[in-house]
Each structure stands twice: as structure tokens, then as C-alpha cells.
Amino acid sequence: MTTYVYETIPQTPGDKPSCFEIKQSMKDQPLTTHPETGEPIRRVIRGGFGILSSGKSATRRAPRGGCCGGSGCGCHT
């Protein structure tokens, strides 16, 4: 089972998305509604640390912060 991050889709201006994690099989289709509240949701694609190299130098890139108050879940606003 893989853990996926989802976020709610704001329905009115000024609403902020909330993030949560769900374990699913990689074969399962992404969820479209919150399993408890029925709110519309979307799966968040997260990036990780990676190394980019060109010649003799290498640069390390970190993931971006997110909508969850900097908790690092990877959600975007």
C-alpha cells in the first residue's frame, strides 16, 4: 500500500484547502471525494529531494512548502 496526500478543493473564495493522507493500492483510482465528509478532493503530486548535476558541480533541491502551515506535506495553494 502507498500513502497518498490529498487536499480538499475550496468551494468559496477565501477557503483554504486542508491536507490529509490515505493509504491506497497503486492500482486504485484517485479519490474525488473525502471519505468522511464528502467534500471534493484532489490528489497532490509531491516531489522529493533530488540531485541535479552538470559537469563537476551538483545542486541539491528541496521540496516546496505547502498549504498545511509549513508541515511539509507538499500541498500547494
pLDDT score of 44 more than 50: yes
Task: Sort strands 41-44 and 2-8 into parallel, antiparallel or unpaired.
Answer: antiparallel
d(Cα 35, Cα 48) in Å, to the nearest integer? 27
pLDDT at position 74: 55
More confident residue, 25 or 49: 25
pLDDT at position 46: 78
pLDDT score of 53 more than 90: no
Q: For residue 73, which amino acid is it?
A: C
Mean pLDDT confidence for 37-65: 68
